[in-house]
Amino acid sequence: MSLLCAVWLIMGILSISFQVGLGQPVNNIGKMIVNSDTVWNKAGSPYNLTGNVVIDKGAILTIEPGVTVYLNRYGIRVNGTLTVRGTNTDNIYLIGGSIYFAESSVSWNPQTETGCIIENTVLKTSVSSPVTSIMINNNTITNYIHAGIGVGNYIQAGGNSIISKNVILMPFYDYDTKPQYGIGVSGATQVSDNIIYGAFKNAAVTVGGSGAPTIQRNLISNDYGLGIAISSDTGKPLIKENTITNCTDGILIDQSTPIIVNNNIEGITRYNVKMGIGSSIDVAASNNWWGTTDTAVIDQKIYDYY
């Protein structure tokens, strides 16, 4: 099965799944502060936000398997802990709005399995965690429509966050409704084993800020623009064992010194690797497959600004 067929099959399944549960009584959640441990369970689902929700320091909001939350145009700000853990057979649905993990939110601890996590969830919302190390695992993340307008969604993560085994699909809306990127990372974030496919204004994956994130074993496709855009000002981001295809440019490097090894970079319209302004440095790019063994063709697909 081709990548395109697989993607549209997943989107069709999502569309059917999203209809399940419509017409049930709605549990409206107005503007509130969660200041003690709280559970949103399947019996109370669906939950419909009519105001912003803040999870206070020391408090835990747990969203259980099978729950649907309509955030609409509101947000959940996490100053404490947000635990969103569905199962392989009973997903959680988060629709609309945004989730923001503040610096005071609790990082995910894999040893104790405590802290902020989103897992086995269908996300039609934006997630941002600039500092806190969160776990985002085995989710499906896609756009949603609000009042006929496509709203772009994305994941932004820093610290030692882990973004793994997700399917990120962005349909081909018009330019104004495209998200800037699918995943934006900094710090020591690990991005592994994801499928990132669609149309992004900037890039499917952006690497910025400080630190040295690892981008490994992902399938990356951006019909509109860049596969990976790297502008990290310190460290050496590792780009390893990815398949980057169906992009205008594969990897853009701007003021950074990444390590690019063992990737498949092919089916690119213009340049497999493009050096931007300020990148007058040598880049380690060994053992990659460029779609051909013809060195002249390979050289033509690498652009050096200088």
Contacting residues for 179 by C-beta, under 8 A, at least 6 apart: 143, 152, 153, 154, 170, 200, 201
With contact defined as beta carbons under 8 Å apart, do 88 and 114 qualify? no
Confidence category of residue 146, pLDDT binned at 50, 70, 90: very low
The average pLDDT across 220-244 equals: 89
pLDDT band at 5 (very low <50, low <70, confident <90, very high): low
Sorted by where each begins, the domain ranges of the chain are: 154-306
Amino acid 143 reads N
At residue 159, φ and ψ (nearest 5 deg) are 60, -135
> What is the pTM (predicted TM-score) of this model?
0.88
Do 144 and 95 contact (CB within 8 A), yes or no?
A: yes
- In the chain, the percentage of residues whose pLDDT exceeds 90 is 61
Residue 145 pLDDT: 42
Q: What is the structure's pLDDT at 153?
A: 58
pLDDT in tens, 49-106: 999 999 999 999 999 999 999 999 999 999 999 999 999 999 999 999 999 999 999 9
Q: What is the pLDDT of residue 148?
A: 37
pLDDT more than 70, % of the chain = 83
Weakest mean pLDDT among 15-29, 75-89, 234-248? 15-29
Given a cut of 60, whether residue 275 has pLDDT beyond it is yes
At 16 the pLDDT is: 41
Residue 50: other Cβ atoms inside 10 A: 13
Average pLDDT of the chain, as a whole number = 86
Question: Which amino acid type is present at position 204?
Answer: A
How many Å apart are CA 16 and CA 173, to the nearest integer?
A: 20
Give the distance from CA 83 to its chain's centroid: 18
* Contacts of residue 6, Cβ cutoff 8 Å, sequence gap at least 6: none
Contacts of 69 (CB under 8 A, 6+ apart): 40, 45, 46, 47, 48, 49, 63, 92, 93, 94, 95
Helix (H, G, I), strand (E, B) or coil at 155: strand
- The pairing of strands 32-34 and 53-55 is parallel
- Identity of the residue numbered 8: W
Query: What SS3 class is residue 132?
Result: coil
CB 260 within 8 A of CB 284: yes
pLDDT in tens, 34-47: 999 999 999 999 99
